[in-house]
Chain A
């Protein structure tokens, strides 16, 4: 059996789930941004494809806002624990959320919000 060596120090699992999450993010800093990207695109692409299947057309800006808000809420929850997410990521998510709203409200072809 081949035993692969870990490239980072394994988190100490005796300190609770929060500590595991923080130690994992400390070892792999790209985990948090990539998790947020994953959340965004699951909602965005999933919503668009389902709406396309149901009605034949999709409201892209509306799904962008929905995905942004989902990502925004996940990011806010992460800010409660120190070490999970840093301020620059929170700011970028917030600005993208606001920009999705700019897109939604100025787009009057598909969405009539």
Chain B
């Protein structure tokens, strides 16, 4: 799995989350359900936050495009002096995962399980850093 597949996976998770929550909310509205998912504050916040994160991803991808266009590679060099071109887009897409972990922590496991999800998220961030480095430099860090 490379940076591209990683980004697509993160984006798919975000879109799936939005689709599931939107469907559940609309189902309750359409059928006048007695139990409405919109009454649960955690999931409502998750829907709003992931929507904002994905919206920010659109802006982030635009910034990444501009950054790559503006970057330059010196003659004889294999990479740009800075890895800034890769910095924006993946980070905006990792925030939905953090929000999903927050909700799962509260709804499924409780606050004492926080370190589990914190570690899991840290691993994902580390993987993202390795992918960015590999895409930028062309090799894995030594």
By a beta-carbon cutoff of 8 Å, the part of chain A in contact with chain B is 72, 76, 78-83, 85-87, 90-92, 94-99, 101-102, 105-106, 108, 113
Q: Is the interface of B mostly helix, strand, loop or mixed?
A: helix
State A112–B12 Cα separation when bound (angstroms). Answer: 12
With A72-B20, A105-B9, A105-B13 known as contacts, the answer to whether A87 contacts B39 (CB < 8 A) is yes
How many B residues face the partner with a CB closer than 8 A? Answer: 30
Binding site for A on B (CB under 8 A): 1, 5, 9-10, 12-13, 16-17, 20-21, 24, 27-28, 31-37, 39-40, 42-43, 97, 100, 103-104, 107-108
A–B Cβ pairs within 8 angstroms, 29 of them: A72-B20, A76-B24, A78-B35, A79-B27, A79-B28, A79-B34, A80-B32, A80-B33, A80-B34, A82-B35, A85-B35, A87-B37, A87-B40, A90-B24, A91-B107, A92-B108, A94-B20, A94-B21, A95-B103, A98-B100, A98-B103, A98-B104, A102-B13, A102-B97, A102-B100, A105-B9, A105-B12, A105-B13, A105-B16
Q: How far is the CA of A3 from the CA of B17 in the complex (A)?
A: 52
Known pairs A80-B32, A95-B107. 8 more at Cβ < 8 A?
A79-B34, A79-B35, A82-B35, A87-B40, A91-B107, A95-B108, A99-B100, A106-B9
**Minimum C-beta distance from A70 to chain B (A):** 13
Q: Chain B: which residue is nearest A103 at the CB level? A: B13
- State the CA gap A81–B42 with chains docked (Å): 23
Interchain nearest-CB distance for A76 vs B (Å)? 5
Residues of B with C-beta under 8 A to A90: 24, 35, 37, 40
A108 to B1, CA, bound (A): 7
B108 and A108 within 8 A (CB): no
Contact A91 B34 (CB under 8 A): no
Residues in chain A near residue B16, CB distance under 8 A: 98, 101, 105
Which B residues touch A83, using CB under 8 A? 34
CA distance A76 to B97 in the complex (A): 24
> B13 contacts which chain A residues (CB < 8 A)?
98, 101-102, 105-106
Bound-complex Cα distance A83 to B32 (A): 14
